[in-house]
């Protein structure tokens, strides 16, 4: 890997804001273990004179093992603005364990850290949850609001990476670094692998209010990354604000840009409620308040078409692209301590008991690799989760891949 380039990126992502004499305190030695057993290190910054502050997690940038250190001034300033700030070393970076995988699993710690913080600092935090970052950190923030479409109250991205495929195409200087994390694969040879990291590919999932900023002359991450996201989000009538300004990539002169982000976020206090029927992208994983899908392969993409308003059952159609591996299905807020059955078309079934929260989990060993027509009605391999008169139906199908186009 080209360490000179990585050091350059590290220097550029350090957002420069001066410290003040406010009542902000910090703890730079926090840590917790994720649900997939990765130890994560993080800082907290907060005003100890403020109770019930909204929580803001800062996502680290691409290409550095020390980005948490470089973001501490930014964390301090957001704390001055009234946020309880969580500054994270995501997996594979800094003092955290695990392996960097271009954001494919970073959203696990960037969502689960809130539970750890609420346990340790209950009087200083409320239930509002925000996420943001710059460069690759902005990219990861957008990935998280794509994979967790109803989790966050608001998000921000400064000069963020929304399309790693496009970055690989437009900036050859960074290809070695990108391919180093992507197991030497390129978007030309493994297009789906890059799609699963591209929030632009899952833009339809974004229901979280988002503010983006970018410099039209950015020479690190091209402004087209934010322009494309803004155009797509506006075409879908999403809650997005976008500004082009003269900030140098990674540097904020003065506080005005962070102030503008705060002014946007502080108006976003509503919980996100997904539509009762919709189609959502699965970029390796998808977790909502009602259900979750985990392909057990972060490099695979698909769709969930769901309808939770039909008279006697909730319908889910799960589609994949040439994927023959296992999938974990989660259903939340059902009847607690109740046996649920996942029934296959041939009448065989597996069963599981929901926990005390009403959550039930199933593992389908192999989705199969079925070549189907283009109409979703022709999907086969029907599954249903049944308890009483309620059922959830899952179909899987293989999408026929077309010509590879790097957008």
The reported pLDDT for the residue numbered 123 is 96
pLDDT value at position 228? Answer: 96
Say if residue 127 is in the same domain as residue 83.
yes
Reference 286, options 90, 138, 85, 151; nearest CA is: 151
Residue 242, pLDDT score: 98
The 8-class DSSP code of residue 214 comes to E
Give yes or no: residues 255 and 316 share one domain.
Answer: no
Nearest to 80 by CA among 274, 258, 248: 258
In this prediction, residue 403 carries a pLDDT of: 25
Same domain, yes or no, for 254 and 337?
no
CA 4 to chain centroid, in Å, comes to 29
Does 221 share its domain with 353? no
In a domain, 342, yes or no: yes
Q: Do 256 and 289 have their domain in common?
A: no
Q: Which residues of 137-164 are buried (b: 16+ CB within 10 A; e: fewer)?
A: bbbbbbbbbbbbbbbbbbbbbbbbbbbb
In terms of domains, do 164 and 304 share one?
A: no
Q: Are residues 218 and 193 both part of a single domain?
A: yes
Tell me, yes or no, whether 271 lies in a domain: no
Same domain, 23 and 129: yes
**Could you tell me if residue 272 is inside a domain?**
no
Shared-domain flag, residues 141 and 259: yes
Residue ending a domain, choose from 209, 239, 265: 265
pLDDT of residue 276: 85
Same domain? For 143 and 228 the reply is: yes
- 238 and 313 co-located in one domain: no
Residue 405 lies in a domain: no
- Report residues of the chain scoring pLDDT below 70: 1-22, 63-66, 250-254, 308-315, 317, 321-324, 342-348, 366-407
The pLDDT assigned to 364 comes to 79
Write down the pLDDT at residue 393. 52
User: pTM for the complete prediction?
Assistant: 0.86
Residue 27 belongs to a domain with what CATH number? Answer: 3.40.50.1820
**End-of-domain residue from the set 219, 237, 265:** 265
Q: Which domain holds residue 388?
A: 277-396
Do the domain assignments include residue 402?
no
CB 286 within 8 A of CB 293: yes
Rg (CA), the chain: 21
Q: Would 406 be classed as within a structural domain?
A: no
Residue 351 lies in a domain: yes
Mark whether 83 and 168 lie in a shared domain.
Answer: yes
Please check whether residue 188 lies inside any domain of the structure. yes
């Amino acid at each position: 890997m080209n360490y000179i380039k990585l050091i350059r990126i590290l220097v550029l992502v350090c957002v420069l804001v001066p410290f003040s004499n406010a009542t902000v305190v910090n703890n730079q030695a926090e840590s917790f273990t994720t649900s997939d057993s990765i130890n994560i290190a993080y800082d907290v910054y907060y005003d100890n004179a403020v109770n019930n502050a909204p929580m803001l997690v800062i996502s680290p940038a691409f290409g550095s093992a020390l980005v948490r250190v470089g973001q501490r001034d930014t964390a301090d300033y957001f704390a001055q603005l009234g946020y309880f700030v969580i500054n994270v070393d995501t997996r594979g970076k800094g003092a955290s364990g695990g392996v960097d995988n271009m954001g494919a699993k970073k959203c696990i710690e960037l969502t689960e850290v809130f539970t750890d913080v609420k346990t340790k600092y209950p009087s200083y935090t409320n239930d509002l949850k925000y996420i943001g970052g710059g460069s690759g950190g902005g990219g990861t923030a957008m990935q998280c609001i794509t994979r967790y479409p109803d989790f966050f109250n608001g998000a921000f991205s400064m000069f963020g990476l929304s399309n790693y495929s496009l970055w690989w195409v437009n900036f050859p200087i960074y290809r070695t670094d990108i391919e180093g994390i992507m197991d030497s694969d390129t978007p030309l040879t493994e297009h789906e692998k890059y799609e699963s990291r591209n929030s632009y590919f899952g833009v339809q999932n974004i229901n979280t209010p988002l503010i983006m900023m970018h410099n039209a002359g950015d020479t690190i991450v091209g402004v087209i990354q934010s322009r494309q996201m803004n155009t797509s989000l506006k075409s879908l009538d999403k809650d997005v604000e976008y500004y082009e300004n003269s900030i140098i990539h990674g540097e904020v002169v003065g506080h005005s840009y962070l102030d503008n982000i705060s002014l946007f976020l502080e108006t976003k206090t509503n919980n996100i409620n997904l539509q009762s029927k919709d189609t959502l992208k699965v970029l390796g994983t998808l977790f909502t308040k009602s259900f979750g899908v985990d392909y057990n392969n972060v490099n695979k993409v698909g769709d969930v078409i769901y309808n939770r308003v039909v008279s006697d059952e909730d319908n889910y159609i799960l589609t994949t692209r040439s994927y023959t591996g296992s999938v974990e299905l989660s259903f939340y807020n059902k009847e607690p301590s109740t046996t649920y059955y996942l029934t296959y078309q041939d009448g065989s079934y597996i069963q599981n008991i929901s926990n005390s929260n009403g959550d039930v989990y199933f593992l389908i060993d192999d989705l199969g690799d079925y070549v189907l027509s283009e109409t979703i009605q022709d999907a086969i391999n029907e599954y249903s989760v049944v308890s009483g008169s309620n059922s959830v139906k899952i179909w899987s199908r293989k999408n026929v891949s077309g010509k590879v186009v790097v957008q």
